[in-house]
Amino acid sequence: MKAIVYTRYGPPDVLQLIDVEKPVPKDDEILVKIHAAALNAYDWHLMRAKPALVRFMGQGLFKPKRPRFGADFAGQVVAIGRGVQQFKPGDDVFGDMPGRGSGSCAEFGCVREDAAALKPANLSFEQAAAVPMAALTALQGLRDKCMVRAGQKVLIQGASGGVGIFAVQIAKAFGAEVTAVCGPGKEAIMRALGADHVIDYTRRDFTRASERYDAIFAVNGFHPISAYKRALAPRGVYVMAGGTPRQMSQAMLWGRPMSLFRGKKLGGIAAKLRQQDFIVLKELIEAGKIKPVIDRRYPLSETAEAIRYLEAGHARGKVVITIADGG
């Protein structure tokens, strides 16, 4: 079968499309014929081993331990392990397959049973592939960290990116008043997704305005952590879900000590793979409360070009890799 692999860290040029052996599912795994995969910042961070901490987190100090590329997927189950009880061959599924060496940018891949769910009935394979990691991060960040409730004022920084687009919709589904911060020319899509207010970050710095927010969910961009704290309401919550290395390090190093004063909470989130949350997302999608937005589609052979586009930081939604026919 064909698969994207990388045997050394570096720029997108390290990605190669080669023939590899078709994987065999373990007892707790399903084998999926992959129809589509989606790319995330997670993927290029692993590809480049940046930040350098990636090398010390089980990914490989000098070269990748798991050379198969990609995490998000949607496809059809073609075989199951002996212990699998939730799925059968022929089921359409979506999910996330990082950490087991069977990347999603391939014709077939194995994934643990508890890292997949039945595909939303109203989505194509390409649309479903665009959901898992980004939507999971938005859901867990807003629900579990920001604890968003109806009537609260929530600001999403980096609202037009992969995670941000889901965050805007999920915050609205929770009943919040949503302010979306994004680049120029993106107001229409933000309004269409439900944002009540849109800020063009090139024209206005929300941290210097008088408005205060019950929750700030920062996916991209950068302000000093003290500026985020200033923009919070008295008992507000700031959660970092991505951004510059400086933004991430400040949230990790200074978030907790700065949360000890005046009731404001500051920190970050790393999404956890939970099957139940995939099911929550499936229900929200089928109820019409959230939907994926795809910016560009690339064939498997152009995965390097796709990741190059994603790294440039201008994507308006998700970047999807189309692998097999299937709608």
pLDDT tens per residue across span 217-276:
999 878 888 899 999 999 999 998 876 666 666 666 555 656 656 678 888 888 899 999
**In DSSP terms, which residues pair with 29 in a beta bridge?**
112
CB count in 10 Å sphere of residue 62: 9
Query: Closest by alpha carbon to 103, among 71, 74, 57?
Result: 71
The residues, any chain, with a CB within 8 Å of residue 246's CB and separated by 6 or more, are 222
Model pLDDT for residues 110-156, shown as the tens digit of each residue: 999 999 999 999 999 999 999 999 999 999 999 999 999 999 999 99
Containing 1, the helix (H) or strand (E) segment is: none
Amino acid 54: pLDDT: 63
Query: Closest by alpha carbon to 267, among 283, 284, 288, 253?
Result: 253
The residues, any chain, with a CB within 8 Å of residue 138's CB and separated by 6 or more, are 163, 164, 166, 167, 170, 217, 241
> What is residue 143's DSSP assignment?
I
Amino acid 327: pLDDT: 42
CB count in 10 Å sphere of residue 245: 12
Residue with tokens 């889901």: 166
Q: Is the pLDDT of residue 50 over 80?
A: no
Triad 102, 104, 108: Cα angle to 5°: 70
Is residue 179 within 8 A of residue 185, CB to CB? The reply is: no
Q: Which residue did the predictor score with more confidence, 100 or 318?
A: 318
> Given pLDDT bands bounded at 50, 70 and 90, which one contains residue 326?
very low
Q: Which residue did the predictor score with more confidence, 54 or 138?
A: 138
> Given pLDDT bands bounded at 50, 70 and 90, which one contains residue 210?
very high
Amino acid 194: pLDDT: 96
* Whether pTM exceeds 0.85: yes
Span 184-197, average pLDDT: 95
Average pLDDT, the chain: 90
**Domains plus CATH for the chain?**
2-131+292-322 (3.90.180.10), 134-268 (3.40.50.720)
Amino acid 65: pLDDT: 76
Amino acid 242: pLDDT: 74
> Given pLDDT bands bounded at 50, 70 and 90, which one contains residue 292?
very high
Amino acid 174: pLDDT: 98
Amino acid 52: pLDDT: 65
Which two structure tokens, joined as six digits, stand for 200? Answer: 């063009």
Q: Is the pLDDT of residue 190 over 70?
A: yes
Span 284-302, average pLDDT: 97
CA 210 and chain centroid, separation: 31
Q: How far is CA 320 from CA 23, 98, 191, 196, 234, in A?
A: 22, 17, 23, 28, 40
